[in-house]
Amino acid sequence: VSGETIGGGCPLQDDAAAYVLGALEPAEVERYRNHLTRCAPCRKEVEALQPVVQRLRSGMPPAEPPGRVLEQVMAQVRAEADLLRSAEALPEAFGARSAGGARRRRVPRSFALAGALACALGALVLALAPGGSRQRLLVSASVSPALEGARGTVVEQGGVGRLVLEHMPQPPHGKIYELWVARPGGQPEATGTLFTVTSGGLAQVGLPRDLRRIAEVMVTAEPLGGTSRPTEPPLVDVRL
Amino acid sequence: VVARRQESAALRSALALIPDEQRKVIELAFFGGFTHTEIATMTGLAVGTVKGRMRLGLSKLRDELSGKVGSL
């Protein structure tokens, strides 16, 4: 039977796949290992799925060098920002009737941005972890009190860094988050990365490849389309 | 080198045959290193749904691989 699974009856049966993929939360791993010593169905499920992941691990090198994919992701985000700028400049174009007579539905900006972010994220994760390597926390960010409860961290995985933001509010109306970096003793430089956050307040943003040359990573809220210089103090500030 | 390429191609083909929503959570976990909770947050799915899709996807992947290429 296609897709047949083994660990029937146990409420933790679905944890087997997450376990072999390394996707359980750290606190859950030990608990699940203990469970496996007592639960034969789950043990069988793990034994059945483990070889699949081992085979993936040994046979799936990244299709392209991570840096190349990362550049493509950032280009995709920039292209989406350009598209949004065009939409702002020509608002009627989106509402005009097409040749077929049907009125086009204007894509909400938030949806377009979310789509761009989702696409970027999808490609980015492929770039970040060749061989299934785990991420490593580098440093936590200072976050403006205005972003109550928000948290930022810079993590490194497979030689590529990213800024992970949690519990972030949506950018203010008419604004978008922009990522900046500064070299030691230097001024903030635009990275061209514009982003928003998920409904759950999460964002993951790729950083320039050579983190050793970067002293500081910042995030500000800027007008849609971004700016070449920050117009306000950083909301998120990470000193590397 | 040829064998490795064939194996890689077989894995990609097998991955392409499982449903998109199952493949997505597997890729996020395997390639991205994200936990099921992070994936649930990113995708807006319930944690149980994410774990269920991982399990179904890996099971189907196992079937595809064992039925077509090599053995597990």
pLDDT higher than 60, residue A109: no
pLDDT higher than 50, residue B63: yes
Comparison of pLDDT for A123 and B33, the residue scoring more:
B33
Highest-confidence segment of A113-122, A126-135, A210-219: A210-219
Give the mutation candidate from A52, A134, A160 for the B interface (greatest B CB count, under 10 A).
Answer: A52
**Tens digits of per-residue pLDDT, A156-186?**
776 678 888 888 898 888 888 889 999 888 8
Give the mutation candidate from B25, B31, B69, B71 for the A interface (greatest A CB count, under 10 A).
Answer: B31
Residue B61: its chain A contacts at CB < 8 A?
52
Lowest mean pLDDT, pick from A47-56, A64-73, B38-47, B53-62:
A64-73
* A86 lies within 8 A of chain B by CB: no
Q: Which of A13, A121, A134 sits opposite B42 (nearest CB)?
A: A121
Q: Name the β-bridge partners of A157.
A: A160
Distance from CA of B69 to the nearest CA of A (A): 11
Band of pLDDT at residue A145, cut at 50, 70 and 90: confident
* B72 lies within 8 A of chain A by CB: yes
* A38 lies within 8 A of chain B by CB: no
Contact state of A5 with B55 under an 8 Å Cβ cutoff: yes
**Tens digits of per-residue pLDDT, B4-31?**
677 778 888 888 899 988 988 888 888 7
Please state the ipTM of this predicted complex: 0.90
**Degrees, nearest 5: CA angle A20-A130-B40:** 50
Average pLDDT, chain A: 70
Contact state of B39 with A135 under an 8 Å Cβ cutoff: no
CB atoms within 10 A of CB A163: 22
Contact state of A22 with B29 under an 8 Å Cβ cutoff: yes
Residue A25: its chain B contacts at CB < 8 A?
35-37
**Tens digits of per-residue pLDDT, A45-104?**
999 999 998 888 777 643 433 444 444 444 544 454 455 444 444 333 232 233 333 333
* A11 lies within 8 A of chain B by CB: no
DSSP letter, residue A211: G
Which residue pairs, CB below 8 angstroms and at least 24 apart, start in A2-8? A2/B60, A2/B63, A3/B56, A3/B59, A3/B60, A3/B63, A4/B59, A4/B63, A5/A45, A5/A48, A5/B55, A5/B56, A5/B59, A6/A41, A6/A44, A6/A45, A6/A48, A7/A39, A7/A41, A7/A42, A7/A44, A7/A45, A8/A41
pLDDT of residue B5: 72
Q: At what angle do helices A40-59 and B47-68 cross, to 10 degrees?
A: 70
Contact state of B55 with A134 under an 8 Å Cβ cutoff: no
3-state secondary structure of A228: coil
pLDDT higher than 60, residue A15: yes
Contact state of B32 with A22 under an 8 Å Cβ cutoff: no
Q: Which of B31, B37, B42 sits opposite A25 (nearest CB)?
A: B37
* A137 lies within 8 A of chain B by CB: no
Distance from CA of B46 to the nearest CA of A (A): 12
pLDDT of residue A220: 94
